[in-house]
Structure 1
Amino acid sequence: MQSSSALPVRQGVLYVAIAATAWGTGGGVAAELYGVGGIGPISVSFWRFLTGLGLLLAAHLVRRSRRPKTAVSLRGTFARNKRRALVAGFGLAVYQTAYFASVQQAGLTLATVVTLGSGPVLVTVGGRLLLNERAGAGGTAAVTSGVAGLVLLVGGADGSTGPAPLLGIGYALLSAVGYAGVTLLGRASGRRNTGGAFEATVTGFAVGTVCLLPMALLEGLMPDMERTARTLGLIVYLGAVPTALAYTLFFTGLGVVRATTASVVALVEPLAAAVIGMLVFHERLNAAVFVGGGLLLFAVLFLAAGERTVAGRPGGR
Structure 2
Amino acid sequence: MSSLMSARRGAAYVSIAALAWGTGGAAGALLFAHGSLDPIAVSFWRYLLGAGFLLMFLPRLPAFSSPVLVAGVGMALYQAAYFLAVAETGVTVATMVTMGATPVLTAVGGRLFLNERLGRAGTAALAVALTGLLLLTGTPAGGSLTGIGYALASAVGYAAITLHSRRHSGDPQGMAVGGFLVATLVTAPFALATGIVPELTAASAGLLLFLGAIPTALAYWLFFRALGTLRASTVSTISLGEAAGAAVLGVLVFGERLTAAGWAGCVLLLAAVVVLTAQAST
> Normalised by the size of structure 2, how large is the TM-score?
0.91
- Which of 185, 196, 220 pairs up with 1:210? 185
Which residues in structure 2 correspond to 1:26-105 (within 5 Å)?
A: 26-60=24-58, 64=59, 73-75=60-62, 77-78=63-64, 82-105=65-88
- Which of 288, 294, 306 pairs up with 2:261? 288
Aligned-pair Cα RMSD in Å:
2.3
- Tell me which structure has the larger Cα radius of gyration: 1
SS across alignment from 1:291: helix
For structure 2, list consecutive stretches of 5 or more residues without a partner in the other structure.
none
AA aligned opposite 1:207 = V
- Distance in 1 between the 2:4 and 2:184 partners? 30
- Distance in 2 between the 1:294 and 1:83 partners? 40
AA aligned opposite 2:150 = Y
The answer to whether the 8 A contact 1:153-1:292 is kept is yes
Classify 1:6/1:204 alpha carbon distance in 2 versus 1 (closer, same or farther; 3 Å). farther
Task: Give yes or no for the alignment of 1:161 onto 2:161.
Answer: no
- Distance in 2 between the 1:74 and 1:235 partners? 23
Moved more, 209-218 or 146-155: 146-155
- Distance in 1 between the 2:216 and 2:92 partners? 22
SS across alignment from 2:138: helix
Q: CA deviation at 1:251?
A: 0.6
- Distance in 1 between the 2:54 and 2:18 partners? 19
SS across alignment from 2:57: helix
The answer to whether the 8 A contact 1:201-1:251 is kept is yes
1:232 corresponding residue in structure 2: 205
The answer to whether the 8 A contact 1:53-1:244 is kept is yes
Task: Give yes or no for the alignment of 1:268 onto 2:266.
Answer: no
2:127 corresponding residue in structure 1: 144
- Distance in 1 between the 2:279 and 2:135 partners? 24
What percent of counterpart residues are identical?
A: 50
SS across alignment from 2:135: helix
Q: CA deviation at 1:300?
A: 1.7
